[in-house]
Structure 1
Amino acid sequence: MRVLAIGDVHGCLGHLDDLLAWVAPAATDELIFLGDYVDRGPDTRGVLNRLIELKQKRPVVCLRGNHEVMMLEARFGSRSDRKQWLSVGGVQALGSYGPALGVSGTFDDVPGGHWEFLEYELVPYHETDRFIFVHAGVYPDAALDDQPDNMLYWEFLPEAMRHCSGKQVICGHSSQRSGLPKVIPGAVCIDTHAYAGGWLTCLDAISGRYWQVDVIGRKREGRVDYEE
C-alpha cells in the first residue's frame, strides 16, 4: 500500500490526468489531495469534475486550501472579498465556467455540485499513524483539533515544522518555484508551481518517492529524504 499525496493542482487538469495515469493509484493505495484545486490554471471546472468523479469511485481525501476558502467567501461575501479572489486566480476560475470559448462565466454558472463539494466535502487536515497532511502548515505545539484556520490554510513554510506528535508533516501552499519538493526538519512541501510552468507532484509519503509532470507532458521522478 502507498500513501499518495498530490500537491496544489490550481486548475491544471492536464497535469492531473497525466500524473494519475502515470502513478496509477491502486485500490489499496490511500490518495490524498492537499488543496488549492481552483484558480490560476485554465480548468478549475475540469479539476473539480475530476475530483468529484474520483470520490465516487474510490476513497479519496480532499483537503481544503486557502483558494477554496476564498472562492466560497467571494460567492456571498463583500465586494472586497470578490475583488481579492479575482486578483489571485478567480478570473481564470470563472473563465473555465464560461458558456463559450473566451466568454467568462459567473457564480451562477458554477454547478451546484461544485459548490457542495467545496463547502462540504473538504477537510482541514488528515492524519495517519505516521503522517499529518495539511494544506499550509501546523503549529508544532498544538494538537490538530486546536490548529487555527490561519495556520491550516494561510501560513507559509517556516524553517522547521516538527509537530509535537512526532509525525512527519506533508503540505502544499508554499509554492516552490524550483519545481522540486522542499524538505525542512519535520515536513516536506510538494506545491511545485504547477500552474506557472512548474510541475505537479505526487509523493508516496511512506517511501519518499515522488513523480512529477509538467504542462507539456514531461515526466520526472525522484526521492525525498525526510529531516527529523
Structure 2
Amino acid sequence: MRTLVIGDVHSGLRALEQLLERANVCTKDHLIFLGDYVDGWSTAVETVDFLISLNKTHNCTFIRGNHDELCRQWLMTKEENPQWLAHGGTATRDSYLHAQRKNWDSHLEFYAGLQNYFLDQDNRLYLHAGYTNLKGVEFEYFDQLFYWDRTLWELARALDPQLNPLDSNFPKRLIHYKEIFIGHTPISKKTTAVPKKGANVWNIDTGAAFKGQLTLMDVETKEFWQSDLVHTFYPGENGRN
C-alpha cells in the first residue's frame, strides 16, 4: 500500500482524473488530499461529486482548505464575499448555480467532514496551510490557521538547509513531526513546478489553479506524478490567472 498525497485541485477534475491514471492509483493506496477542492476552473460541482464517489471505493483522507471553507460559507448563507469571488469563487458559484440543489446538501456534508489535519502512523503531518503553536497542532489556538497560515512555509523556506533539527536554533514547531506536507502557497503561478522541500516541510501545491500542474507524491519514496498543465483542460477559461 502506498500513501499518496495530492496538492490543491481547485476544481481541476479533468487533470485529477488524468493524474490518478498516470500514478496507477488502486484501492489499496491511501489518498490524502491537501484541500482546496474548488475555486479555479469551471468543474467545481463535478470535482466534489467525483471525490465523494472516490471515497466510496478508495481509502481517502480529505483535508480542509481555505477555499473549501469559503465555498461552504457561501452555500450556507448565500452571502457573496467579494474577495472569494475574485480569487476563484466566481467559477465555483456559477458551477453551483447550474447544479441541482440536491448536490448542495451532499456537498455541505462533505465540506463539514473535512479534517483540519491528519497525522499518520509514521508521525507525518498533513494539513493545508500551517500552524503557529510551538508545541504542535494539538495545541493550536485558532483552527483557521490550519487552512490560512503561510508562515510555516515561509519559515521552512528561510531555514539554512544545513541546520540540524537538534540545534537549539531549529524552530520548535517543526521538531514534533518526521515530515509535514502542505499545499496552500503555490510554488509557482506562472510556469511548471515540482514539489519543493524546506527543512522537513514538503509543499505539494504546483499551481494547478494558475499556469501549473496538479501533483501527486508517494510520501515514502518521494516519487511524484503530474498532470498536464491544468489550464489546457479548460480552453477559454482563466482559472485564477
TM range (shorter): 0.7 to 0.9
Change (3 A) 1:184 1:45: same
Alpha-carbon distance in structure 2 between the residues aligned to 1:75 and 1:49? 15
Secondary structure at 1:93 match in 2: helix
The residue aligned with 2:147 is: 153
- 1:39-96 superposed Cα distances (whole Å, 9 cap, x missing partner): 11221111101100011112210000001111122334584x6323222211100222
Give the structure-2-normalised TM-score: 0.79
- Deviation at 1:133? 0.5
The equivalences for 1:53-202 within 5 A come to: 53-77=53-77, 79=79, 82-99=81-98, 108=101, 110-119=103-112, 121-128=113-120, 129-139=122-132, 141-147=134-140, 148-156=142-150, 157-160=153-156, 163-177=174-188, 178=191, 179-202=193-216
Q: Is the 8 A contact 2:26 2:58 kept in 1?
A: no
Q: Which has the higher strand share?
A: 1
Which whole-Å deviations, capped at 9, do the CAs of 1:137-173 have from their partners, x for residues lacking one?
Answer: 2336223222232321111221327623232000000
Using the alignment, how far apart are the partners of 2:72 and 2:225 within structure 1?
31
Distance 2:76 2:18 in 1: 35
Distance, in Å, in 1 between the alignment partners of 2:54 and 2:75 is 25
Aligned-partner Cα distance in 2 for 1:142–1:74: 34
Q: Report the aligned-residue RMSD.
A: 2.2
Distance 1:142 1:97, change over 3 A: same
**Cα offset, 1:111, TM superposition:** 2.5
In 1: Cα distance, 2:138 partner to 2:46 partner: 32
Q: Which runs of 5+ in 2 are unaligned?
A: 157-170, 234-241
Change (3 A) 1:30 1:109: closer
The 3-state SS of whatever aligns with 2:146 is: helix
Q: How does 1:210-225 map to 2 (within 5 A)?
A: 210-214=224-228, 215=230, 216=232
What is the distance in 2 between the residues matched to 1:142 and 1:71? 31
Whole-Å separation in 1 of the counterparts to 2:104 and 2:77: 19
Query: How far apart, CA to CA, are the structure 1 residues paired with 2:135 and 2:74?
Result: 30
CA distance in structure 2 between the aligned counterparts of 1:111 and 1:78, rounded to whole angstroms: 12
The equivalences for 1:4-43 within 5 A come to: 4-43=4-43
Cα gap change, 1:83/1:159 in structure 2, threshold over 3 Å: closer, same or farther?
same
Change (3 A) 1:153 1:55: same
1:183 deviation in Å? 1.1
Q: How many pairs were matched up?
A: 209
Which blocks of at least 5 consecutive residues in structure 1 are unaligned?
100-104, 218-228
Preserved CA contact (<8 Å) 1:139 1:163: no
Partners of 1:181 and 1:57 lie apart in 2 by 27
Give secondary structure in 1 for the equivalent of 2:144: helix
Looking at both structures, which has the greater relative contact order when contacts are Cα pairs under 8 Å and sequence separation is at least 6?
Answer: 2
Q: How much does 1:110 deviate?
A: 4.8
Whether the 8 Å contact between 1:75 and 1:82 is mirrored in structure 2 is no
Say which is worse superposed, 7-16 or 27-36, in terms of deviation: 27-36
Give TM-score, length-normalised by structure 1: 0.83
